[in-house]
Amino acid sequence: MARYTESKCRLCRAENTKLYLKGARCYSDKCPINKKRNKPGKHPRYRSRKMSDYGIQLREKQKVKRMYGMLERQFRIFFDKADRMPGKTGDNLISLLERRLDNIIFRMRFATSRNQARQMVSHGHVLVNGRKVTIPSYLVRVDDKVEIKERSRNLQMIKESLKEYTKSGVEPWLQVDPDSAQGSMKAIPRRAEVTDLGDIKEQLIVELYSK
């Protein structure tokens, strides 16, 4: 499957906002967004012109898609699934994205970024209800037991990541035991509980795909 291999900071500069793609580094003073660097590419005067409504909607979709590290086809599958669910499509979309296994690993503080969490899942370090799952887009259900394989719990990157648990804990809809590197999803995440997406307006994504 195709994947983005260029600088992740370039994506944040393109969207002119932090997408938190590099873990703790995004919170440091070295982040290019803090330095107010220009967007990538040439002709800054052309890039700074007023965007159309379609352009605004497209950029909103790109932000969310890049935050969760997804390609267009997979993102559209998640949107269509959210559209078929009862309730607001935008809220459903964010809830589904939060339930992805790679995001759950990130939220449980077993990884410092979603990209690192995705690698952990793909490399077979993660168990769900005692069975190895290597699909990052696997949707975690309420009361599913998510854990790091016993042989993988001593990995340095996991120990370093768990330090964040002692600082800020986890989301209220998650339960984590850092000593045994395992946890579970206590409830379906609601849009109001996902507070670190900045000024994302998911309704613009709904309007974009509804055309």
What is the rounded average pLDDT of the residues 192-209? 90
CA 122 to chain centre: 16
User: According to CATH, where is 1.10.1050.10 located in the chain?
Assistant: 8-97+199-209
Average pLDDT over residues 30-55: 64
Handedness of CA 22, 26, 30, 35 (dihedral sign): positive
Give helix 72-84 / helix 202-209 axis angle, nearest 10°.
Answer: 90
pLDDT at 44 over 70: no
Looking at the predicted structure, is the pLDDT value of residue 57 above 50? yes
Q: Of 199, 202, 198, nearest to 87 (Cα)? A: 202
- Structure confidence at residue 1 (pLDDT): 41
> Per the confidence metrics, is the pTM higher than 0.85?
no
* Per-residue confidence band for 30, with pLDDT thresholds at 50, 70 and 90: low
Give which of 75, 71, 67, 72 is closest to 18, Cα–Cα: 67
Where residue 105 falls (left for φ over 0; alpha for ψ -120 to 50; beta otherwise) is alpha
Of the ranges 32-41, 54-63, 67-76, which one carries the lowest mean pLDDT score? 32-41
Residue matched to tokens 């002119």? 16
Is the CB of residue 90 less than 8 Å from the CB of residue 208? no
For residue 195, name the pLDDT band (cuts at 50, 70, 90).
confident
Lowest mean pLDDT among 61-75, 145-159, 189-203: 189-203
| 96/106 Cα distance (integer angstroms) | 15
What average pLDDT does this structure show over 177-193? 94
Kindly list the distances between the CA atom of residue 166 and the CA atoms of 9, 23, 66, 162, 193, in Å, as whole numbers in the listed order: 27, 16, 28, 7, 20
Q: CATH 3.10.290.10 in the chain: give the residue spans.
A: 100-187
* For residue 10, pLDDT beyond 90: no
What topology does CATH give the domain 8-97+199-209?
Answer: Ribosomal Protein S4 Delta 41; Chain A, domain 1 (1.10.1050)
More confident residue, 165 or 37: 165
**Mean pLDDT in the chain?**
85
More confident site: 9 or 71: 71
Confidence at 185, pLDDT banded by 50, 70, 90: very high
- Tokens representing 38 are 């220009």
| pLDDT > 70 fraction of the chain, expressed in percent and rounded | 77
The answer to whether 124 and 174 have CB atoms below 8 angstroms apart is no
Q: What is the pLDDT of residue 15?
A: 54
> Is the pLDDT score of 49 beyond 90?
no
CATH topology for 100-187? 3.10.290
